[in-house]
Amino acid sequence: DTEVTQTPKHLVMGMTNKKSLKCEQHMGHRAMYWYKQKAKKPPELMFVYSYEKLSINESVPSRFSPECPNSSLLNLHLHALQPEDSALYLCASSPRAGSSYNSPLHFGNGTRLTVT
Amino acid sequence: AQTVTQSQPEMSVQEAETVTLSCTYDTSESDYYLFWYKQPPSRQMILVIRQEAYKQQNATENRFSVNFQKAAKSFSLKISDSQLGDAAMYFCAYRSARETSGSRLTFGEGTQLTVNP
């Protein structure tokens, strides 16, 4: 069982659609992350939220818009995506961002996104 | 910038046997953390084991152990008494101990492990 819950598990959307991915954790973690993973490749960091504030944006295109409404929730809003954006999107959390508190990331099961 | 290299795209092992997955990394830092994650078909990235660079003793977690060679920048994972449930993609990962860059995990390309019954 995962302590980081992602919904939906699968999503198919057209290039003109607007959709959102959701991530939830109740471990009291104050850092949350979005990763993108292509097939048979390692995850690539997209965004990091620390104490509900965006701390890292890895030059992600604006068609991906993250949101952290509170310390337990993380959303990724999608708009005007391209077929090459099809991937597994993983959410993760940790007690804190940075490394002054050494704790590994806890990952969710991901959302498999297909853009048609 | 740090890099992590896993030179074995695929490995296989017989059930109950031992297998070692290789990982090397490149960094100019002296303080950092290393991790092995597994990703089964369920897609969740699961932490297998972690090592702090300032600790000389190799980490162990039940059937999983590492051989950490700091001077050689090597961090291999040994799985003993392999089980069918160990079949997964295994990623080696590096994280800086510097606060400003410690949010980033640098992953290797992964090793797909097959366990044969």
At residue B99, φ and ψ (nearest 5 deg) are -55, -45
Tell if the CB–CB gap between B98 and A50 is shorter than 8 Å: no
* Per-residue pLDDT at A90 exceeds 90: yes
Q: Are residues B33 and A48, on separate chains, in Cβ contact within 8 Å?
A: no
Name the least confident of A58-72, A98-112, B35-49, B84-98. A98-112
In whole numbers, what is the pLDDT of chain A averaged over residues? Answer: 92
Residue type, A30: R
pLDDT value for A2: 62
d(CA B59, CA B66): 6
Mean pLDDT of A21-31: 94
Whether residue A99 is predicted with pLDDT greater than 70 in this model: the reply is no
The residue of chain B nearest to residue A41, with distances taken between CA atoms, is B109
Residue A87 CA to its chain's centroid (Å): 12
CB distance B107–A31 less than 8 Å?
Answer: no
Q: What is the pLDDT of residues B66-107, one digit of tens each?
A: 999 999 999 999 999 999 999 999 999 999 888 666 678 899
Q: How far is B77 from chain A (nearest CA, A)?
A: 17
Query: Could you read off the pLDDT of B11-55 as tens digits, one per residue?
Result: 999 999 999 999 999 999 998 999 999 999 888 899 999 999 998
The reported pLDDT for the residue numbered A102 is 63
Total beta-carbon pairs less than 8 A apart between chain A and chain B: 66
- A85 SS3 class: helix
Q: State the pLDDT at residue A100.
A: 55
From the CA of B62, how many Å to the nearest CA of chain A? Answer: 18
